[in-house]
Amino acid sequence: MSVRIAPSLLAADLGQLREQVQGALAGGAEWLHVDVMDGRFVPTLSFGAPLIRALRKITDAPLDVHLMVVEPERYLAEYADLGVQVFTFHPEATVHVQRHLAAVRERGMLAGLALNPSSPLALVEEVVDDLDLLLIMSVNPGYGGQKYLGSATAKIARARALLDRHRSAAALEVDGGITAETIVSAWRAGADTFVAGTSVFGAPDVAGAVRDLVRRCVERA
């Protein structure tokens, strides 16, 4: 199983955005993770179209956008036009989840659903075949720099089993508290894509931090 790192721009120094993005990509990061928060679904505000436009001037690397917003469908057309590759939202944040997943795909993006620590896998069971990505939150969303919740590991394993039962090729992503110490447990449980913020952009060597995360998994294969 491959290891994909998606560094979270929430932890980046925006004053050195170009340098930090280039460092992450040089280290082997395959996606760049962008958190969009509206102050309603989660208590904080962050990012949005202006950052995505800025990133598109720096790189054509795939953008993995996680919308922690109410009515994420309102963002769909704009983000597709901006060149977003992965559009992930929370099932509790909208109605007609399957319709919106289909609309994401129709716009040429990968469709993802995210589950908070208290959100059951049952919320995605009926739409597994419509997913290109399933994101398991290993912290409560809204703030960066939180510690990995140990209970997430068993949930990741159950999510992997769910995807495998459906013979789904969807990516299984984990977001929250991913460090060189926690990534191995999540990877062994079946995750293949990892959002890492502080452990990447807070490191003196951004490229080296990305390489180390991959190495920790590969060495324990």
pLDDT tens digits for 148-196? Answer: 999 999 999 999 999 999 999 999 999 999 999 999 999 999 999 999 9
Q: Which of 44-53, 91-100, 170-179 comes out lowest in average pLDDT?
A: 44-53
Residue of 39, 3, 7, 44 whose CA lies nearest to 23 = 7
Q: Is residue 210 part of a domain?
A: no
Q: What is the pLDDT of residue 94?
A: 96
Under 8 Å CB-to-CB from 36, ≥6 apart: which residues? 46, 47, 48, 65, 66, 67, 68, 69, 75
Residue of 96, 99, 131 whose CA lies nearest to 115 = 131
Q: What is the pLDDT of residue 206?
A: 97
Res 137 pLDDT > 90: yes
Q: Is residue 131 part of a domain?
A: yes
What's the token pair of residue 195? 């959002």
**175 a catalytic residue:** yes
Residue 202 near residue 11 (C-beta atoms within 8 A): yes
The larger pLDDT score, comparing residue 63 to residue 221, is at 63
Among residues 35, 38, 64, 132, which one is catalytic? 35
What phi and psi values does residue 167 have, to the nearest 5 degrees? 50, 40
Res 221 pLDDT > 60: no
Q: Which runs of consecutive H residues, i.e. helices, occur in the chain?
A: 17-26, 49-58, 76-81, 97-106, 122-125, 152-165, 183-188, 198-201, 206-218
Look at the chain and report how many structural domains it folds into: 1
Unique residue bearing structure tokens 């140990």: 150
Percent of the chain with pLDDT over 70: 97
Distance (Å) of CA 169 to CA 44, 128, 160: 33, 10, 11
Among residues 130, 132, 175, 212, which one is catalytic? 175
Q: Is residue 215 part of a domain?
A: no
**38 a catalytic residue:** no
Q: Is residue 214 part of a domain?
A: no
Q: Is residue 140 part of a domain?
A: yes
Residue 112 domain boundaries: 4-198
Distance (Å) of CA 2 to CA 35, 118, 177: 23, 28, 20
**CATH number of the domain within which 31 lies:** 3.20.20.70
Q: Is residue 155 part of a domain?
A: yes
Res 42 pLDDT > 90: no
Q: What is the pLDDT of residue 192?
A: 97
